[in-house]
Chains A and B, each alone.
Chain A
């Protein structure tokens, strides 16, 4: 038996304490939100904050009554799933050609795509609003699907490009020599080998689309509103409803948090952009 190596040296204690402190600091707003959701409005604004109280579910009931949770949730599901699917359909062939038949312009193109994310979204609001207005697409799920797809496309292409680049080109060439058409090559070789990366990319973009608020608010607040817009409706100029806002937020993020919990591994892989294998 070998001796366990870890000893509680002062340095290790310090680092552990610092790590816990930072983790709690980052996590605190979420805890606070979770706790507040179960308070009455009166308890919610008490100073100092109450930590011991009788939890209530009335906020959830009121939120559900006042705003049609199911409708918002459905809109969120439709827009995020469809935009992710559409994005993958466009991004995968783009990443494939950039990874396996790069030209002199490929790097520039990749950078240009990413650079579209450098601009604040509000900069494009007016033209996009006018375009969607002209097309009669304002406050439709179609508009949100289009805008979410466009918003996530650069990230999708980048991520898939990085994953595809890790697949040795000779394996694809071997498939070609074996008589595989482009479709066979995709179905039998690229898809099975790249499924991890494709799944990570899809998951990340699903989360990004789910949490998107800016475009959802500006282009689809009423009929096509997503859960993010529902949340915002509880922080209004007429007064804050802290516990209801918290309850609404909790309800809005719950599905994606659960999804994230079950797909942690894929997500982490996705966020590290294929650097960790």
Chain B
């Protein structure tokens, strides 16, 4: 039985149909990531689950109870905001204990819970400080701490790492993954960063223009994208798409063919499936991205894990791994 269920959930802003009937079942303990380009409605959907945005249609059911129109303060969900949204006039300890103090829990119990959470998040030495005396990473940990002391039914994360620098982002991502494994709490996490989506999620929900494009494990999305949008959204650099007419003996229903950069291999000019010339080489050390201009002017990117001595203008052949070809019809739907 699912723990959190969205049934045909809708959102309108005036005439603008922001969320178009979302159906989604989330199991207890699952880590779900909403991902999509900006403006796709992922944050709106999260805020609707939180109760911070009104739901204009459909139902929201949590743990067998309908909560579609319940006040956010009654839902027993915790949210970690992108801006941290700490209470600036309270110390770290007061920030983390706020929810429990509102519930009028026993002060001794509160102290104990805060101490445990602070210990988990390496915040013990900072409990008496105010947020403005903390670094960005520490603030984000306080925001997470504020959520975990409550043991809420679901954790909601709204792009929690996007205000951190790259190094800290990587580190905090790992910490969040650890925490999730430790607490095994149901979590919904919104991001536009596909690395976060791929590394954290049990299941990823790809959204575009208020519609779910695909739901699946990170590898399902990578290996078997349901459509062109998902195929190109997941993976960096994105999947190469080529018109089907480049290839002989193609099913007439197939309009485009997609191949990920690592499923191309460069071979001698004249052999392989496609012919072209090197346009640019990006040597990244652990991998090399070779931009190849095909005979008809189409650009593709080839990824290889060895370094190369190829120079721009060098003629090359490109071989395609036949097991790893994605086929899309005229509507962009994957054909298997």
Contact = CB atoms under 8 A, between A and B. Distances in A.
B87 A175 contact: yes
Interface string A168-186: 1011011111111100100
Contacts of A208: none
Contact of B150 (A170, A178, A181, A184): A178
Interface stretch (B71-79, B116-124, B177-185, B192-200): B71-79
Interface string B65-103: 000000111101111010101111100000000110011
B45 interface: no
Contact of B85 (A170, A180, A181): A170
B105 to A, nearest CB: 11
Q: How large is the interface on A (under 10, 10 to 19, 20 to 34, 35 or more residues)?
A: 10 to 19
B73 A170 contact: no
Interface in A162-204: 168, 170-171, 173-181, 184, 188-189, 192-193
B75 to A, nearest CB: 8
B72 A176 contact: yes
B219 interface: no
Contacts of A175: 87, 98
A170 B98 contact: no
Given A173-B52, A173-B79, A178 B85 contact: no
Interface string A233-265: 000000000000000000000000000000000
B103 A173 contact: no
Contact of A192 (B50, B86, B89): B89
A179 B85 contact: no
Contacts of A168: 83, 85
B91 to A, nearest CB: 13
B11 interface: no
Interface of A: 168, 170-171, 173-181, 184, 188-189, 192-193
Interface of B: 50-52, 71-74, 76-79, 81, 83, 85-89, 98-99, 102-103, 146, 150, 156
Given A173-B81, A174-B87, 6 more contacts: A174-B146, A176-B72, A178-B78, A179-B103, A188-B87, A188-B98
